[in-house]
Amino acid sequence: MLAALLYGQEDLRLEQVSDPLPDAGEVVIKVHAATTCGTDLKVWRNGGHAKMLKPPTLFGHEAAGEIVAVGAGVTKWKVGDAVVANNSAPCGHCFFCLRREYSLCPNLTWNNGTFAQYLKIPAKIVQHNLLLIPDIAYELAAMTEPLACVLHGIARSNVKPGDRVVLLGDGAIGLMFVAKLVLDGSQVLVFGGNDKRLEIATKLGAAQTFNYHQVQDIPSLVKELTDGYGADIVIEATGDKSVWETAIACARPGATVNLFGGCPKNTNISVSTEQLHYSELTIKGVFHNTPYFVREALSLIASRKIMFEWLISERRPLKDLEQVFVDMRERKVIKVAIQPD
């Protein structure tokens, strides 16, 4: 089969590799749609990921397709089933899993290789995080994983209906946050650097959008827009350490600040101990997703309450993958649906 392999920093190669065969408990799917995301872009630019993969390796982690082979012992699934698989599954028996803190499981089973004609799904993921696709397009189902991360992030952010939420970032993840927060009744103020993406944020229901290139002092503007207090909730979705610090500065006393975007390894930020203590801030990082939110994400996509199609800029064949990442780096596209056929 034709597949994309990551060899290092911005070194992505399409190669012919052996078709995968399922071992016991596994399935193999024919990939009908694999969507790109900001994590893929980050991994491509950095040449690896501390938790998910080490090159050289098959690449990509969002996909939906059709089962073409099942391994020994698989009884729930059959050839022909349309499915979407999360890119990980928890072990189910460690210290964290026993406390239902599945995203913290140190034994997560990871799976990469969605930018290929076929994808093997490990047994743990088949057991915990393989879902039957309802009557929706494969490219929409493929967005289940990032949306599950967003739903997990919102659940950890202490958001209440009517809260004034500042969202920093206008990538696909940021726009997913906007859509779900608006659906839940929040007033969302979005700061991003791309006018076309900010237009989509407005279509998704953002109360106001701002191009940060045209804003001299984001925290001061936020306070001006919130009666001098600051935001009830701040969500950072860029993975830039300076934006992490901006996020904290945008918060009102008693606020929750969700530092959602992962920064490069060995990154540090400065936090005012006075503000943290006397303003009673809750500052938290949120990582990945859980099986519960994987199911909730697919259900939300299938409900059609949100037009997730607006996040798909293009549909491209697998041979165009390297150019797609160049376009993502230059912020010309949001998400691209790769169609390996």
All CATH 3.40.50.720 domain ranges in the chain, comma separated: 157-285
If one counts every other C-beta atom within 10 angstroms of the C-beta of residue 276, the result is 14
Within 10 angstroms of residue 48's Cβ, the number of other Cβ atoms is 14
Give pLDDT, residue 49.
Answer: 78
Could you tell me which of 171, 285, 173, 188 has the C-alpha nearest to residue 231? 188
Contact 252, 226 (CB under 8 A): yes
CA gyration radius, the chain:
20
Residue 315 CA, distance from chain mean position:
19
Residue pair 179/203 in contact (Cβ under 8 Å)? The answer is no
DSSP string computed for 211-243: EGGG-S-HHHHHHHHTTTS-EEEEEE-S--HHH
Question: Residue 8: which residues within 8 A CB-CB, separation 6 or more?
Answer: 47, 48, 55, 56
Q: Is the pLDDT of residue 341 over 80?
A: no
CB 86 within 8 A of CB 129: yes
Q: Does domain 2-145+289-339 have CATH number 3.40.50.410?
A: no
pLDDT-based confidence at residue 55 (cuts at 50, 70, 90): confident
Using an 8 Å Cβ cutoff, are 297 and 323 in contact? Answer: no
Distances (CA, A) of 134 to 35, 67, 82, 131: 18, 15, 8, 9
- Average per-residue pLDDT in the chain? 96
Per-residue pLDDT tens over the stretch 275-324: 999 999 999 999 999 999 999 999 999 999 999 999 999 999 999 999 99
Tokens encoding 167: 């969202």
**Numbered ranges of CATH 3.90.180.10 in the chain:** 2-145+289-339
Closest CA relative to residue 334, chosen from 204, 224, 196: 196
Question: Residue 64 above 90 pLDDT?
Answer: yes
Q: What is the mean pLDDT of residues 120-132?
A: 98
Helix (H) or strand (E) holding 283: strand 282-285
Q: What is the reported pTM?
A: 0.96
Give kind and range of the element (H or E) at residue 64.
strand 63-70
Round to whole Å and give the CA distance between 199 and 209.
Answer: 8
The verdict on domain 157-285 having CATH code 3.40.50.1010 is no
- In tens, the pLDDT along 172-224 reads 999 999 999 999 999 999 999 999 999 999 999 999 999 999 999 999 999 99
CA atoms within 13 A on the CB side of 308: 29
